[in-house]
Structure 1
Amino acid sequence: MKNSNNSTLLTRNHLGKVTDDERLAQNDYLEVVKAFARLTYESIYVINYETMTFEYVSENPLFLCGYSSAEVMALGYDFYFKNVPESDLKLLHSINEAGFDFFENLPGEEKIQYSITYDFYLVNRDGRKILINHKLTPLLLTREKKMWKAMCVVSLSHHKSPGNVCIHKQGSDTIWELDLKDKVWGTSEKPKLTKREIEVLHLYAQGLSIQEIAEKVSVSPDTVKYYRRQIFDRLNVSTIAEALSYAVNSKIV
């Protein structure tokens, strides 16, 4: 696989020598990643920060931009430079710097519990731009607790513009949000829905109409519309599709 000098422009996570013991501890983790990729509609790929290459890329077409998975693996970091607009490449550089600075300040093994999510444009071979959501979480750490390998998940973004940089910790309701202008992390709490709002959202996910949802939960259609407005306000979205995407991505439902 290609190890491009371009990779240094997009990541400041550079490893020293990885020991033989650490390599043996990997086991067959890639088989687990591949199994997960078979079960999800999202695109999955693995970054190896030792070699600055992509170690695995799933067959899902969203991330591939018209290439085969083998071609994307061969391109490695050059894939970004071929398929991400210049303005978004600068955005990715800023996110990388801020993200790894945040990561470096976390204590030891706790680092594995964090993930970062953000949005940027990919450009297909036909020139069509797609705003995607990109999530990254540590897969393997070195003995020095540096990120050795990371798993990335790509899906369509529910936002309307790039950025939207957040860090989540497993089991925590705290969200760290990056102010891209000042490069400062602020904190907020994950939005919460009531049991009835979650129930209504589940029924929307099943494709039910407002009238059908009203009959299911024994309320009037106007009450269902009220719940829908509450959901939109709490999640800061404007459509049910956006609400479902946000709720799933944020593990609210």
Structure 2
Amino acid sequence: MEINTDDLDKFFSEKNTVENVEGSNFISTGEYLDIIRAFARITYKSIYIIDYQTKSFEYVSDNPLFLCGMQPSEVQKLGYGFYFRNVKPEDIDLLLQINEIGFDFYEKLPIEERKLFTISYDFHLINEKGKTVLINHKLTLMFLTKEGKIWKAMCIVALSNNQNAGNITINRHGSDTFWTYCKNSLKWISEQKAKLSDRELEMLRFYARGLTISEIAEKMFLSADTVKFHRRKLFEKINVHNITDALAFATNNKLI
């Protein structure tokens, strides 16, 4: 499949063109990539590094989750061309939209705060067996130029807990506020993260350890029916339908 260069350039905003990186902007690529490789060895998630100066993938981990049967070196060589080969056509347009609104959001932030924000979104990959898989991307900035332009960013790839593509959100580290992009109004809407009670967090930690409802009830000095009641209320509070999604919510928000 021939990839058009103009199509690839759509993933990069003209507002964020990084021509040269000089002086104090320069870092030792080898040293920081050693840290990324170490992180990749201890996580089940996939990792890749985007270089906005060269418009390429600087690093791709060997976790096969999103490689679609390819080797990391092959994905790295393709760069964003990988998405034109392996993403559902309708989701390509979604990714281009996310790229545009993401850059617009970051441009409005104070330069010194930009690294604190992470954008999250879901889209479908077509794997090597021809099946679609809904995955989640969380992208955060690593290095900026003196002018505040994005030079390098890290993307963490995992299976999505949602049912459909989209679900575009931006979180600020250390804040209870997050922003959801509304595709109808074409605006970012600020919201507050759900706050869990000590009892709800305790229950989730027991679930994370693999305990049954009866075992959790015993440890919390409650009846099994009371544990089920609290679990149902928890699901309603964080808008999930099962304990797996509840644990994912708690993990993603660093609650447990």
**TM exceeds 0.5?**
yes
CA–CA separation in structure 1 for the residues paired with 2:128 and 2:185: 34
CA contact (8 A) 2:57 2:76 kept: yes
1:6 aligns with 2:3: no
CA–CA separation in structure 1 for the residues paired with 2:29 and 2:148: 15
Change (3 A) 1:55 1:27: closer
Aligned to 1:84: 87
TM score, norm. by length of structure 2: 0.94
CA contact (8 A) 1:98 1:183 kept: no
1:207 aligns with 2:238: no
Matches within 5 A, 1:131-142: 131-142=134-145
1:32 aligns with 2:35: yes
Aligned to 1:155: 158
- Cα-to-partner distance string for 1:98-118 (whole Å, 9 max, x where unaligned): 110000111112101111001
Aligned to 1:223: 226
Aligned to 2:60: 57
Amino acid of the structure 2 residue aligned with 1:111: R
- Cα-to-partner distance string for 1:123-165 (whole Å, 9 max, x where unaligned): 1021111101100000110111111000000111111001111
Amino acid of the structure 2 residue aligned with 1:44: I
Structural RMSD (CA): 1.6
Which piece of structure 1 moves more, 21-30 or 83-92? 21-30
Alpha-carbon offset, residue 27 of structure 1: 6.9
Alpha-carbon offset, residue 4 of structure 1: 4.5
1:129 aligns with 2:129: no
Aligned to 1:236: 239
CA contact (8 A) 1:37 1:44 kept: yes
2:185 to 179, 182, 185: 182
Identity of aligned residues (%): 48
1:112 to 99, 110, 115: 115
1:172 aligns with 2:175: yes
CA–CA separation in structure 2 for the residues paired with 1:4 and 1:34: 29
CA contact (8 A) 1:49 1:149 kept: yes
SS of residue matched to 2:26: helix
Amino acid of the structure 2 residue aligned with 1:55: E
CA–CA separation in structure 1 for the residues paired with 2:221 and 2:110: 50
Amino acid of the structure 1 residue aligned with 2:9: T
User: Gaps (5+ residues) in structure 1?
Assistant: none
CA–CA separation in structure 1 for the residues paired with 2:100 and 2:72: 27
SS of residue matched to 2:112: helix
The count of residues paired between Structure 1 and Structure 2 equals 252
CA–CA separation in structure 2 for the residues paired with 1:204 and 1:120: 28
CA contact (8 A) 1:168 1:174 kept: yes
CA contact (8 A) 1:42 1:154 kept: yes
CA contact (8 A) 2:49 2:60 kept: yes
CA–CA separation in structure 1 for the residues paired with 2:233 and 2:130: 38
CA–CA separation in structure 2 for the residues paired with 1:27 and 1:59: 18
CA–CA separation in structure 2 for the residues paired with 1:38 and 1:97: 32
Aligned to 1:93: 96
Amino acid of the structure 2 residue aligned with 1:11: F
Which piece of structure 1 moves more, 5-14 or 74-83? 5-14
1:74 aligns with 2:56: no
User: Gaps (5+ residues) in structure 2?
Assistant: none
CA–CA separation in structure 2 for the residues paired with 1:15 and 1:5: 17
